[in-house]
């Protein structure tokens, strides 16, 4: 059975986490990581990871990177903050630098789920730009991007049919 890793870049327990928890509940062999509950310091730009394929900072990132390497599919939940990823998710992206030179997750299948208070199309367009470098430099294989209009804490919960359709598509992506 394939392993799905869900990673939430949300600072609050709102729409992004709700979507990922729905996937976790309805698809077997998933694991949810809430970055807001992890100890992830800022990248220091030391480039030691170019030589040893891991980060020298002693926090939770190396454990998360190991889970990323083991997963068959990674689903990133990313909220829209001023037409960009949250600061939490940006910091996380920076800390994935050990995967750049090593190409340890080259061609890894990923899905992005974007949430934001503006229109779905605008959120999708802007956040796709924000994660472009992550995709390019880690050589990820993006299977699908989803976008939800959701600003207030429970907005996304009103979109049950869309959520169920997304979950069915994700089940089919697992091949």
For the stretch 3-18, pLDDT in tens is: 999 999 999 889 999 9
Chain segment 83-134, per-residue pLDDT in tens: 899 999 999 999 999 998 888 899 999 999 999 988 888 888 888 999 999 9
Chain segment 36-60, per-residue pLDDT in tens: 999 999 999 999 988 888 899 999 9
d(CA 24, CA 8): 12
d(CA 112, CA 163): 14
| Closest CA relative to residue 114, chosen from 91, 130, 138 | 130
pLDDT at 1 over 60: no
**Which pLDDT belongs to residue 154?**
87
Instruction: Give the whole-number percent of the chain exceeding pLDDT 90.
Output: 77
**Which pLDDT belongs to residue 144?**
95
Binning pLDDT at 50, 70 and 90, where does residue 170 land? Answer: very high
Binning pLDDT at 50, 70 and 90, where does residue 140 land? Answer: very high
pTM of the predicted structure, to 2 decimals: 0.95
Chain segment 57-86, per-residue pLDDT in tens: 999 999 999 999 999 999 999 999 998 999
Ordered domains of the chain (ranges, CATH): 42-168 (3.40.50.360)
Specify the DSSP element, H or E, that contains 142.
strand 141-149
**Which pLDDT belongs to residue 141?**
95
Contact 101, 127 (CB under 8 A): no
For residue 134, CA distances in Å to 84, 90, 168 come to 13, 10, 26
| Closest CA relative to residue 82, chosen from 44, 45, 135, 129 | 129
| Closest CA relative to residue 50, chosen from 100, 119, 124, 11 | 100
d(CA 35, CA 53): 21
Contact 85, 114 (CB under 8 A): no
């Amino acid at each position: 059975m394939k392993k799905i890793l869900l990673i939430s870049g949300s600072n609050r327990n709102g729409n992004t986490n709700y979507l990922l928890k729905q996937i976790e509940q309805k698809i077997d062999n998933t694991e949810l990581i809430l970055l807001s509950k992890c100890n992830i310091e800022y990248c220091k730009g030391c480039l030691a990871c170019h030589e040893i394929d891991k980060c020298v900072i002693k926090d939770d990132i190396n454990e998360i990177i190991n889970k990323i390497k083991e997963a068959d599919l990674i689903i990133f939940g990313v909220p829209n903050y001023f037409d960009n990823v949250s600061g939490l998710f940006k910091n996380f992206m920076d800390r994935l630098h050990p995967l750049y030179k090593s190409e340890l997750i080259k061609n890894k299948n990923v899905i992005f789920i974007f949430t934001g208070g503006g229109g779905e199309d605008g959120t999708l367009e802007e956040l796709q730009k924000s994660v472009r470098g992550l995709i390019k430099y880690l050589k990820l294989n993006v299977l699908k991007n989803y976008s939800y209009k959701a600003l207030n804490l429970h907005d996304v919960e009103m979109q049950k049919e869309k959520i169920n359709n997304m979950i069915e598509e994700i089940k089919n992506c697992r091949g």
